[in-house]
């Protein structure tokens, strides 16, 4: 058995059960499917709603759209590059710069934002420091006009 929601020519909506879709087609063609409200035989399928058992709801059943599958987070991508000899040279300099900073600057760890502010506002003597800041902290420092730079990270240190 299959249940169809049907519309008549006067837009009455009703439901009717049929043996199968071919049975509906045959009966509708012969004018045997009539609107229970006005008796019109000019009906057409509204929404097909196959059900195992009739329910008493007067309005035709609507089939909800299939739920979208939850987005699958893509694995984090790693920036990669193939370098020419010239860029390899720059990479060496980057490494030197990093080594120079870490050798000569004071490591302040997570106190970086606080220390950077003190230097910026002249509360302590200007010196080179390095440490860590969260993206929010870095944004705040930037908004206060404090100049700082990301410590160069070499690609082979990402792993
Ligand atoms: Zn009708």
In the chain (159 residues long), the average pLDDT of successive 10-residue segments reads 91 91 92 94 76 54 68 77 84 88 90 94 92 92 90 66
pLDDT of residue 47: 58
- What spacing in Å lies between the alpha carbon of 21 and ligand 1's midpoint? 21
The pairing of beta strand 43-48 with beta strand 129-131: unpaired
Query: What's the pLDDT at 159?
Result: 47
- Residue 113 CB partners (closer than 8 Å, separation 6+): 133, 137, 138, 140, 141
Residue pair 129/149 in contact by the 8 Å Cβ criterion: no
**35 near 43, Cβ under 8 Å?**
yes
| Ion ligand 1 residue ranges (Cβ < 5 Å) | 8, 10, 12, 35, 37-38, 40
Instruction: Give me ligand 1 centre to Cα 49, in Å.
Output: 19
Confidence at residue 123, expressed as pLDDT on a 0 to 100 scale: 94
pLDDT of residue 50: 53
Q: Give the pLDDT confidence score for residue 91 in this predicted structure.
A: 85
Distance (angstroms) between ligand 1 centre and the Cα of 133 equals: 71
| 8 A C-beta contact, residue 46 and residue 13 | yes
pTM over 0.85, yes/no: no
Q: Where are the alpha helices (DSSP H) in 7-153?
A: 21-29, 85-104, 112-120, 135-143
Q: How far is the CA of 9 from the centre of ligand 1 (A)?
A: 6
- Please give the distance, rounded to the nearest whole angstrom, from the Cα atom of residue 16 to the centre of ligand 1: 13
Residues 13/6, Cβ–Cβ less than 8 Å: yes
Residue 105 contacts residue 130 (beta carbons within 8 Å): yes
């Amino acid at each position: 058995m299959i249940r169809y929601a049907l519309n008549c020519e006067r837009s009455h909506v009703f439901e009717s059960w049929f043996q199968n879709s071919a049975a509906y087609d045959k009966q509708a063609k012969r004018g045997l499917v009539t609107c229970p409200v006005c008796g019109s035989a000019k009906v057409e399928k509204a929404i097909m709603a196959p059900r195992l058992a009739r329910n008493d709801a007067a309005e035709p059943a609507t089939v909800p759209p299939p739920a979208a599958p939850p987005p699958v987070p893509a694995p984090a991508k790693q920036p990669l590059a193939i370098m020419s000899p010239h860029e390899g040279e720059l990479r060496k300099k980057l490494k030197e710069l990093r080594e120079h900073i870490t050798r000569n600057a004071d490591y302040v760890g997570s106190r970086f934002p606080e220390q950077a502010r003190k230097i910026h506002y002249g509360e302590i003597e200007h010196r080179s420091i390095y440490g860590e800041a969260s993206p929010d902290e870095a944004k705040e420092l930037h908004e206060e006009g404090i100049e700082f730079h990301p410590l160069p990270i070499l690609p082979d240190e990402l792993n």
